[in-house]
Amino acid sequence: MEFQRADEDSGFQGDTTFNAPVDAFNARLASLREQLGYSDTSSPSRRSDNELTLNSASTVTGASDELIGNIRFGSRTLPFPSTPEYARYLDVFFNDINPCHPCINQPEFTSKCQKLKSTRAVDPQDACLLAINYIIFACADILTELSPVQQTRSIPGWKWYLIAEDLMNKRKLTGRGDLSLIQYLVYETFYLIHADLPNAAYNASGLACRLCFQFGLHQQRLWGSSCTPFSKHVRQRLFWTLYFVDRRTALSCGRPYGIRDSDVDVEEPAWIDDKALFPDKPIPDADPDHTFNIFLSGLSAFSRFAGEIWDQVFSVTSADDPHLGEKVAVLDARIKYWTDTVFHTLPLVPPHGNPTQRHRWQETLIRTVLAPPPFDMRSLLMRMSHLRLLLRRRTMVSLSYTMTDGKICGEVAMEIVGDILPHGAEARKPSCSRFHMAFSLGGAILILATLLCRDLSTVNLQKYRTAYMKSFSSGLALLRDISIHLHTARRILEDLRGIIEVVEHLIREEDGNPTQFEDISNVVPPNLEDLFPYGDINASFQPDLDMFDMQTQPQEFSNNDMAFVNGDVSTGLWALWSNEGYGVPWV
């Protein structure tokens, strides 16, 4: 986990070792691509390293010449940010990304990178360190991109990502290296999630899990007596961050997770301020006011619940379980207990200092993803609330829910919207909160739609209809605002488009005839259930595009598309919509 050179005895092979098998694989791949009708003109696998390097150097993320310099890596010259731009990238990373995925110790990393910055030259044995820099640039770009998404444009950070992959590909293929390879894979997964590439994200996190077992990261007793207190602490942070990334990615994609609790024997890290932690100094005292690790403790709790939800609700053997309803109720009660009691024992907002926007956002995220408090912590609660909705989502979108199911889900969905609305200004700011807001709003809007498309008098919930309508409209307006600058929000809107247009039509009809609006069946389309996405969680309904052909994301919209995104729809437009697939409902 600390950055180390892979020593010569590690078994790592040189750059030319795998040329013959890779060339044979590429030849076979080219044949398959021709059979499938793909053009191979943009596939980097058919280009030389030098060509990839030159192309990357000239087109990295559309940055201006003043922001891009270069760096020597062995005999190659790679594009690299200028000194001021490099400092900006690290600021974004250590202020917005590492606090939520605390794999890297800031003092150690910046010390390791001093030579890289000053000499602009990197030894080939330091490829992992250089690749982590590039994946950091990619993550920062995808979080801070604020260009409108209605135009065709490159995926933010994509060129940086390709360079990172070029540096790491053989190490990933062989599994030889040190724990910095897992650090790289964690941030690669982060980038691919924000690029909305679920299959690639699942594969990256899965490889990280296998390397975790290979390197013995999952059992603290295997670390040996030579493991220093500093190394032990950073290893703990890396493991529990990977634990969260694994469970989150797998549950989102509807696939089994990689690290099972029965295989884990690692303590959670102490609440230490990362900036006060140095490799060559004693471990500092706990500092709840400045540590990231309190949030990591909350994410670990979220991850345990996510694993239980997969095992008991969504795994293959759970589908026909006669006790499934009971298990859902018990899990929901346990999550609610955690958010009502355990959550409030975590000092996510500094008890003796002024909370930052990051503290308040993390608090909100944990709750809305489990279930509500300030926004750093709120983000933790958002995650918990999101899990509670996920437990009953299949029942809700089938429109066969009971009063209990409908009431619980309606309350949670309105809480999510209510928690996010005060932070609406974040929609136009460069941070990861936009992504969390988008998928949390999407989940809440879906549930509110299931309630508004049904005659609620049949489940004795009609008195809540006005509140559901208000929350639906407010949440949808904010999601549309976020979608102006965030591709994932735009994709979520498209996934929900069919049912959103039905609900907006119902709301207009009800507003126009409040005393006559009684028989909802005369207004909704006959194929209503087919319009609800996410009934099953399975990433197979939207396979990723060929990643290395994916230089741009097509974002060309018709007039009807733009009218929908802007909220300017006419009655009956939902009848023209064909829902032929949808993306992954991230958690």
Q: Is residue 334 part of a domain?
A: no
Q: Is residue 187 part of a domain?
A: yes
Q: Among residues of the chain, what percentage have pLDDT more than 90?
A: 58
Q: Tokens in use for 60?
A: 């990295």
Last residue of a domain, one of 276, 309, 324: 276
Domain match, 267 and 358 both: no
Domain match, 237 and 372 both: no
- For the stretch 350-376, pLDDT in tens is 655 566 655 555 555 554 444 333 335
Best CA proximity match to 504, nearest among 479, 484, 482, 483: 479
- For the stretch 221-269, pLDDT in tens is 999 999 999 999 999 999 999 999 999 999 999 999 999 999 999 999 9
- For the stretch 401-412, pLDDT in tens is 999 999 999 999
DSSP percent split of the chain into helix, strand, coil, nearest 5? 65, 5, 30
**pLDDT for the residue 571:** 33
**Is residue 461 classed as helix, strand or coil in its secondary structure?**
coil
Domain match, 401 and 544 both: yes
Domain match, 496 and 401 both: yes
Q: Is residue 308 part of a domain?
A: no
Tell me which residue has tokens 């209605």.
150
Domain match, 52 and 185 both: yes
Q: Is residue 444 part of a domain?
A: yes
**pLDDT for the residue 527:** 84
Last residue of a domain, one of 256, 276, 296: 276
Domain match, 169 and 249 both: yes
Task: Give strand pairing partners of 153.
Answer: 553
Half-sphere exposure of 109 (CA within 13 A, CB side): 25
Q: Is residue 81 part of a domain?
A: yes
Last residue of a domain, one of 276, 307, 324: 276
Per mean pLDDT, which range of 19-23, 87-91, 371-375, 437-441 is the poorest?
Answer: 371-375
- For the stretch 162-218, pLDDT in tens is 999 999 988 887 877 789 999 999 999 999 999 999 999 999 999 999 999 999 999
Q: Is residue 343 part of a domain?
A: no
- Are 324 and 400 contacting, i.e. CB atoms less than 8 angstroms apart? no
> Which residue did the predictor score with more confidence, 17 or 60?
60
Domain match, 355 and 235 both: no
Is the pLDDT confidence value at 24 over 90?
no
Q: How many domains does the chain have?
A: 2
Q: Among residues of the chain, what percentage have pLDDT more than 70?
A: 73
> Which residue did the predictor score with more confidence, 345 or 266?
266
Q: Which domain range does residue 108 map to?
A: 46-144+154-276
Q: Is residue 562 part of a domain?
A: yes
Mean pLDDT of 279-295: 91
The pTM score is: 0.82
User: How far apart, in whole angstroms, are the C-alpha atoms of residue 358 and residue 515?
Assistant: 47
- For the stretch 439-448, pLDDT in tens is 999 999 999 9
**pLDDT for the residue 373:** 34
Contacts of 392 (CB under 8 A, 6+ apart): 328, 332, 401, 405, 408, 409
Q: Is residue 305 part of a domain?
A: no
Mean pLDDT of 507-534: 76
